[in-house]
């Protein structure tokens, strides 16, 4: 049997397989142990087995496996070992340069190599109602809505996983990272589209640690996203209100599944003034506009209600009532105005500007930090309300998730 025959079978299987898979030794048509050993010695093939990796059918990383062990792993054609052509062996393979990420795989790139992109690429999907973005802060995925699955212009555009990444620099600046194996599955047109957003200095980018832990190391991510935790705090506060015998503080609650979260309640992608104001508009509706004045009007155990009207007979605003009610019913050394009221007033004040003024859109990378700080301050305020309510004797049976109790591992990605 010729060496070329054996090598070509391995190369052909790798190139033609759906996910650039290796050829299992037990599936070889031209198995020849001596020839395979020669190919290993010449640096033309390499062997992965279940002894080295969980799934040897994909080459997720570059490995340095001793030659003797590789040979031992293919000593029988019944062994659970998988053969891959090396970069050297793939040098002569014809390449389709209309698919730049498929080309990387055709050249032998490791499947879990992360390519970094300008986060603007995600705007294409967020602003297109044909797509669903499942965003969990540190990672997400992009898929086509069921009703548009046959749309030929979309070409089954699907990103199984993207990770939140960061660009080294003076300011917080986000990027997005995607495995090359996922990019290689896109059509030629869509690969070229993504290529246009690829960042030139890949070394300045770093993927979020949760993305690596979850998808590469196979670990559970124990941290929780502050966006999810804020919605959970609201639910707990409403349950506390029920136990105290007063109307719920928030008119509406939201789940943390992507389909239950308010649209636009996520980290802003492109740092533009429009995106920032759009986020604050949603944020204000979730927090400030969502506060019920009915909560403050009922007397119950250890709680005194307040009047809805002011001295002039006008209705008080929800934040005015909240501040007055907290001051009347909460005994604390904390400055309630600074801790709770000011962050909520900040949301409303920011919201007022685009509502009452004509504004010009601007690109400003510092908006990432402004949203980051606004989210942190607001979460601290809402959490403080929940902690104050926890001191009421009727709320002792309200179950609070452990991570909210400890306050540890709550992350603003």
Tens digit of each residue's pLDDT, the chain (413 residues): 689 999 999 999 999 998 999 999 999 999 999 999 999 999 999 999 988 888 899 998 888 899 999 999 999 888 889 999 999 999 989 998 999 999 999 999 999 999 999 999 999 999 999 999 999 999 999 999 999 988 888 887 899 999 999 999 999 999 999 999 999 999 999 999 999 999 999 999 999 999 999 998 889 999 999 999 999 999 999 999 999 999 999 999 999 999 999 999 999 999 999 999 999 999 999 999 999 999 999 999 999 999 999 888 999 999 999 999 999 999 999 999 999 999 999 999 999 988 777 778 999 999 999 999 999 999 999 999 999 999 999 999 999 999 999 999 999 99
State the Cα–Cα distance between residues 137 and 124, nearest whole angstrom.
18
Question: 287 and 243 share a domain?
Answer: yes
Q: Is residue 390 part of a domain?
A: yes
Half-sphere exposure of residue 318, counting CA atoms within 13 Å on the CB side?
A: 18
Question: 246 and 363 share a domain?
Answer: yes
Question: 288 and 404 share a domain?
Answer: yes
Q: Which domain holds residue 194?
A: 100-215
pLDDT at 359: 77
pLDDT at 151: 87
pLDDT at 413: 93
Instruction: Output the six-digit token pair for 381.
Output: 């305020």
Residue 407's contacts (CB-CB under 8 Å, 6 or more residues apart) are 383
**Per 3-state DSSP, what percentage of the chain is helix, strand, and coil (rounded to 5)?**
45, 15, 40
Q: Sign of torsion, CA 103 166 353 226?
A: positive
Question: 83 and 106 share a domain?
Answer: no
Instruction: Output the six-digit token pair for 145.
Output: 């809505």
Please tell me what DSSP assigns to residue 340.
I
pLDDT at 155: 80
Last residue of a domain, one of 50, 67, 92: 92
Phi and psi of 239, rounded to 5°?
-70, -35
Question: 32 and 167 share a domain?
Answer: no
Question: 207 and 240 share a domain?
Answer: no
| Residue 131, H or E segment | strand 131-135
The total of other beta-carbon atoms located within 10 Å of residue 10's CB is: 24
Determine the number of helices (DSSP H) and then strands (DSSP E) in the chain. Answer: 15, 11
Q: Is residue 259 part of a domain?
A: yes
Helices 367-389 and 342-356: crossing angle in degrees, nearest 10, is 140
Buried b (16+ CB within 10 A) or exposed e, 170-196: eebbbbbbbbbbbbbbbeeebbeebee
Matching residue, tokens 């062997």? 47
State the Cα–Cα distance between residues 269 and 272, nearest whole angstrom.
9
Last residue of a domain, one of 166, 189, 215: 215
Last residue of a domain, one of 92, 127, 152: 92
Residues linked to residue 84 through DSSP beta bridges, in sequence order: 46
Question: 113 and 161 share a domain?
Answer: yes
Question: 317 and 404 share a domain?
Answer: yes
Q: Beta 139-144 vs 174-179: how paired, if at all?
A: unpaired
Residues linked to residue 118 through DSSP beta bridges, in sequence order: 175
pLDDT at 54: 86
pLDDT at 1: 64
Question: 246 and 394 share a domain?
Answer: yes
pTM of the entire predicted model: 0.90
Q: Is residue 289 part of a domain?
A: yes
Question: 241 and 206 share a domain?
Answer: no
| Residue 82, H or E segment | strand 81-85
23 with 80: CB under 8 angstroms? Answer: no
Instruction: Output the six-digit token pair for 91.
Output: 């040098």
Question: 64 and 125 share a domain?
Answer: no
Structural domain count of the chain: 3
Q: Is residue 220 part of a domain?
A: no
Question: 66 and 113 share a domain?
Answer: no
Q: Is residue 314 part of a domain?
A: yes
């Amino acid at each position: 049997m010729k060496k070329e025959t054996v090598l070509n079978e391995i190369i052909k299987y790798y190139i033609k397989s759906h996910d650039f898979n290796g050829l299992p030794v037990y599936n070889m048509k031209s198995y020849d142990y001596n020839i395979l050993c020669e190919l290993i010695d010449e640096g033309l093939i390499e062997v992965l087995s279940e002894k080295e990796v969980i799934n040897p059918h994909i080459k997720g990383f570059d490995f340095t496996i001793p030659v003797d062990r590789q040979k031992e792993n293919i000593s029988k054609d019944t062994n659970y070992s998988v053969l891959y052509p090396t970069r050297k062996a793939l040098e002569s393979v014809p390449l389709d340069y209309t698919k730049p990420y498929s080309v990387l795989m055709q050249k032998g790139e490791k499947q879990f190599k992360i390519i970094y992109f300008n986060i603007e690429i995600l705007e294409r999907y967020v602003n297109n109602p044909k797509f669903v973005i499942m965003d969990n802060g540190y990672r997400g995925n992009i898929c086509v809505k069921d009703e548009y699955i046959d749309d030929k212009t979309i070409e089954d555009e699907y990103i199984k996983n993207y990770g939140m990444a960061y660009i080294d620099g003076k300011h917080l600046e986000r990027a997005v990272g995607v495995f090359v194996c996922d990019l290689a599955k896109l059509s030629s047109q869509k690969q070229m589209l993504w290529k246009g957003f690829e960042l030139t200095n890949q070394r300045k980018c770093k993927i979020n640690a949760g993305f690596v832990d979850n998808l590469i190391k196979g670990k559970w991510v124990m941290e929780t996203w502050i966006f999810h935790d804020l919605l959970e705090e609201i639910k707990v506060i409403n349950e506390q209100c029920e136990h105290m015998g007063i109307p719920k503080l928030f008119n509406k609650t939201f789940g943390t599944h992507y389909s239950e979260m308010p649209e636009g309640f996520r980290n802003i992608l492109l740092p533009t003034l429009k995106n920032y104001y759009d986020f604050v508009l949603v944020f204000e509706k979730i927090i400030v506009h969502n506060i019920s004045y009915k909560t403050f009007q009922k007397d119950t155990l250890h709680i005194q209600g307040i009047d809805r009207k002011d001295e002039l007979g006008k209705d008080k605003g929800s934040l005015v009532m909240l501040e007055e009610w907290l001051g009347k019913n909460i005994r604390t050394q904390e400055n309630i105005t600074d801790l709770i009221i000011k962050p909520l007033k900040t949301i409303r004040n920011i919201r007022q500007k685009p509502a009452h003024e004509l504004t010009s859109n601007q690109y400003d990378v510092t908006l990432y930090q402004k949203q980051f700080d606004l989210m942190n301050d607001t979460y601290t305020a809402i959490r403080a309300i929940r902690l104050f309510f926890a001191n009421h004797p009727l709320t002792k049976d309200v179950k609070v998730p452990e991570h909210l109790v400890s306050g540890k591992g709550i992350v603003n990605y």
